[in-house]
Amino acid sequence: MVAQAVELVRYRSLITNLVAKDLKVRYKSSVLGFFWSLLNPLLMMLVFTFVFTQLLSDIEIDHFPVFVLIGLLSWNWTATSVGEGTTALIDNAALINKVYFPRMLLPISVVASNMANYVLAFPVIFMAMLVTRMEFTPWLVYLPVIVLVQATFLTGLVLILSAIHVYFRDTTVLVGVGLTAWFFMTPIFYRVEDVRPDLVQWWYWLNPMASIIAELHTILYHGGVPDPLFMARTFMTGLVLLVIGFLLFGRVTRHLGEHL
C-alpha cells in the first residue's frame, strides 16, 4: 500500500495533465467554452426557483436561487464524478492495455477535473450573493475545508465504483438510479430543518453529501459559524471510504488487463 502511494506521488504530473486534458477537451469543443459549464447550473437554478417558488407556493426559503445554486454546484461535482468515474477504467481500456501507469489515477483525475469545474464556478455563487445582497462572512475561509472533505469522500466512492464496474458492467444502470435517489435525499432544494427531527441524525450518518451541503449552507447562505466537529465526522467517513476504495481498487485491478 505504501509502495502504491509512493508511485502515485511519482506520477503526480499525470494527474495534472489528465485534468488539463479534460478541461481543454471539454471547453475547446464549444464556442463559449467554460461559460457553458456555468450555464448549466444557472439554468437549473432557474428551473428549481420557478418550480419551488412559483408552482409550489408553500415553500418558504429566502433567497431561494442562491440557496439552490449552492447545493446544485456541489451536487454537480458529485454527480459528474460518480457518473464519469464509474466508467473511467472501461472508457480508457485501450490505454490501459498499452501503457502501464497507476490505474488509480484515472478515477482520481475524474474527481479532480470535476473539482476544478466546481471551484471555477464559485464566482457565480458569489455574484448571485452580491446581486441578492446577501452577507459575506469571514467563515468563507472555511470553504476549502469543505471542498477537501468532499474530495476525499468522492475519491473513495469513485475508486470503489470504478473497480466494481470492471466486473459488473451494469453498475452504470444502478449508479444512474442511485444518483437520482441520492439527489432527492440531499438537502439541495429543501432545508435540513424540514427533515423529520428523529431521522436527521441517521440521515447525516448515511449521506455525507447532506452534511457537506448543510455545512455549505451554513457558511454561505446563513453566514453562520461552521461546526468543526461536524465536518470532522464527515471527513472520517470520507477517509474510511477512501481507504476501502484504495484497498479494493488495488485488489480488483490486479488482473484488470484481461477483463477489459
Candidate segments 48-56, 98-106, 122-130, 132-140, binder of other proteins by CB under 8 A: 98-106
Of these, 94, 133, 181, 229, which contacts other proteins (CB under 8 A)? Answer: 94
Length of the chain: 260
- Classify 61 as helix, strand or coil: coil
251 binds other proteins (CB under 8 A): no
Q: How far is the CB of 32 from other proteins (least distance, A)?
A: 17
Count, residues near other proteins per rule CB under 8 A: 33
Binders of other proteins in range 170-199 (CB under 8 A) = 170-171, 174
Candidate segments 17-25, 70-78, 152-160, 180-188, binder of other proteins by CB under 8 A: 17-25
Residues 161 and 65 sit within 8 Å (Cβ to Cβ): no
CA angle in degrees (0–180, nearest 5) for 260-168-105: 55
Residues 41 and 70: their CA atoms lie apart, in Å, by: 10
Smaller CB distance to other proteins: residue 21 or 140?
Answer: 21
Q: How far is the CB of 251 from other proteins (least distance, A)?
A: 12
Smaller CB distance to other proteins: residue 83 or 223?
Answer: 83
Binders of other proteins in range 121-180 (CB under 8 A) = 167-171, 174
| SS3 of the chain: helix, strand, coil, percent, to 5 | 80, 0, 20
Tell how far CA 117 is from the center of its chain: 10
Cβ contacts of 2-6, under 8 Å, gap ≥ 24: 4/102, 4/104, 4/246, 4/250
30 binds other proteins (CB under 8 A): no
Question: On the CB side of 238, how many CA atoms lie within 13 Å of its CA?
Answer: 22
What is the DSSP secondary-structure string of 17-54?
HHHHHHHHHHHHTSSSTHHHHHHHHHHHHHHHHIIIII
Of these, 99, 133, 135, 181, which contacts other proteins (CB under 8 A)? Answer: 99
Candidate segments 47-55, 96-104, 193-201, 207-215, binder of other proteins by CB under 8 A: 96-104
Of these, 2, 3, 29, 56, which contacts other proteins (CB under 8 A)? Answer: 29
Smaller CB distance to other proteins: residue 133 or 254?
Answer: 254
The three cell numbers of residue 53 are 417558488
- Classify 87 as helix, strand or coil: coil
Q: How far is the CB of 171 from other proteins (least distance, A)?
A: 7
Q: Which stretches of the chain bind other proteins, using CB under 8 A?
A: 10-14, 16-18, 20-21, 24-25, 28-29, 94-101, 167-171, 174, 254-255, 257-259
